[in-house]
Amino acid sequence: MSRSNEDHGRVERLQRVILSLGSTCLALVIVIVCLIRPHLSSQLDPTSLLSDPNAKESVIARLANEHGELYDSHSDADVGRVLLPNLKDRSVRGSSVTTNRYGIRERNYVLPKPNGMIRIVLLGDSFVYGRGVAASERMGVHLERWLRENCPDAVPIEVLHIGVSSWNYQAQTAYLRRQLHDLRPDLVIQIALPNDIEPSAGIRGFGKMARHSPQFPLFADSVLNAAFPRQMLLQAATNYLRFGIDFESRSRYQAARDDIQKLLLALDNYGCRYRLLFHYHRQLSVAWKHIGRHFDPSKMVYLSKDFASESRYWISESDYHWNTDGHLIVAKLIYGMIARERLLPGVEAPIWDEAAIIFDRITGPGRIDAERDLTDDAVLRTGSDRQIASHIDFEALTESTAAQIHGGVDSSHRASPYASFVLKNNNRSHVRIQGTALPDNVLNNTHVQVYIGPDCVGSIELVADARFDKTFILPAANRDTPFINLRLISPDYVYRGNDLQHCVAYQLRRVSIEMP
């Protein structure tokens, strides 16, 4: 065969291949159009598919199961974050996680609640979620089984775990309160920990937990929490945010009380009973002083520090989340409380001696330890042997001075839009703030507001690359307090970091309380 005939044959074969592929593509297009035609309006609108609840659920489920993260954002900024919905056996920290349609690690509970059902809700964070244990080993599974076995003639009893890791009081109470009309629990048991006063983190793309909180947009990427010195300053210390010794800390507890109060009012409207279990380790007195004593004491329950210190109930020596034995003993404690106090309407759970003994052994000493009216200095001694200084030198941070930073300063001592510190009141009259403005001209004429406690005492004007050294008079109301809270709030900021996600406004050198 000649070269020209060979070329002609190749062209014919290529044409046949192209024709075949074109026919196949056309057939696929026809099939796809036929499948989605019921979802199409007169104009082809891709978003119309997601208006169909079944199609939307299918798409979200597929996206959720095609990457390895766990979280989903929530449209309610108070809640901020739930789990990805409809996960099936997702491996997380050695345990398998399955979620329901609402993004909660629980069965698909029915809304509205069916008539004739007793529903108990366990509300909280990772301890209720069950970090590190199988769903079937969590406290509510045991509690539901025992109540059904011991109350065989009662109406159906259901125990639900409604908790997401690192949810705070605000997220927990808002999520429950806003579905209360349909959820209709008969009893809510909220399990609280010291970190529940801290802002609850939001979500970055593809389900990763973020460094920002939708609850506090003013903070930008500087979430305030007890671990801030370790996370951002690389100092082996935790701070004093949970101690309730200054305005910043107390304002977090005030917000927690407000959230609990709103939930209690809503539960009362539906005739639902409530118990708050504090798992506060050595800081039970803080829980009582700043939360518990403001409410009906019969609704406040304190788990003893001895129980909290028993490592046999921990996941590991470095992780004090409850293991399977921990969930089991807390389930017995809750059963003992329900039976003793007859907390289920129309159902009289029989007294179980073992559960009653566990309830008394853990909560009796817990209440005694909690209801001590300790001074701020005494509170500090329960959780730290460090001393709080009247100054912070950011260019020479130590473990002790790093612990005085609630949040808002990075390892290069650049301040975020919201920065907060605690200083020892040394009976002097002024707060001095020294630092340097960033070279970014866009921040010129920005005025950083200076707060001492709740009071704005003035501002610092930023001029590009210029140093500032300003003093402010302590308000009279702060003169006799042992600890001073200094907060710096900037209305504008710029980006730093390779991903342009770090928000900063100026650089700090030193803050101190001194004479002018």
Domains in the chain: ranges and CATH: 48-90 (no CATH), 109-199+237-370 (3.40.50.1110), 391-514 (2.60.120.260)
Specify burial of residue 334 (Cβ count, 10 A radius: 0-12, 13-18, 19+).
buried
Stretch (H or E) spanning 278: strand 273-278
Q: Tell me the sheet residues that pair with 203.
A: 209
Token output for 77: 């900024």
Q: What is the DSSP string of 159-217?
A: EEEEE-TT--HHHHHHHHHTTHHHH--SEEEEEE-GGGGSPPP-B-GGG-B-SS-TT-G
Q: Is 298 helix (H, G, I), strand (E, B) or coil?
A: helix
pLDDT in tens, the chain (516 residues): 444 455 555 545 545 544 454 444 444 444 444 444 444 444 445 555 556 666 655 655 555 555 568 999 999 999 999 999 999 999 887 789 999 999 999 999 999 999 999 999 999 999 999 999 999 999 999 999 999 999 988 889 999 999 999 999 999 999 999 999 999 999 999 999 999 999 999 998 878 899 899 999 999 998 899 999 988 888 878 999 999 999 999 999 999 999 999 999 999 999 999 999 999 999 999 999 999 999 999 999 999 999 999 999 999 999 999 999 999 999 999 999 999 999 999 999 999 999 999 999 999 999 999 999 888 888 888 777 789 999 999 999 999 999 999 999 999 999 999 999 999 998 889 999 999 999 999 999 999 999 999 999 999 999 999 999 999 999 988 888 999 999 999 999 999 999 999 999 999 999 999 987
Phi, psi for 95 (deg, rounded to 5) = -125, 160
Residue 289, C-beta contacts closer than 8 angstroms, at least 6 positions apart: 244, 373, 374, 379
pLDDT value for 63: 56
pLDDT value for 483: 95
pLDDT value for 17: 45
pLDDT value for 377: 85
Say if CB 214 and CB 82 are below 8 A apart. Answer: no
Say if CB 238 and CB 282 are below 8 A apart. Answer: no
pLDDT value for 92: 82
Q: Is 422 helix (H, G, I), strand (E, B) or coil?
A: strand
Provide the whole-model pTM: 0.86
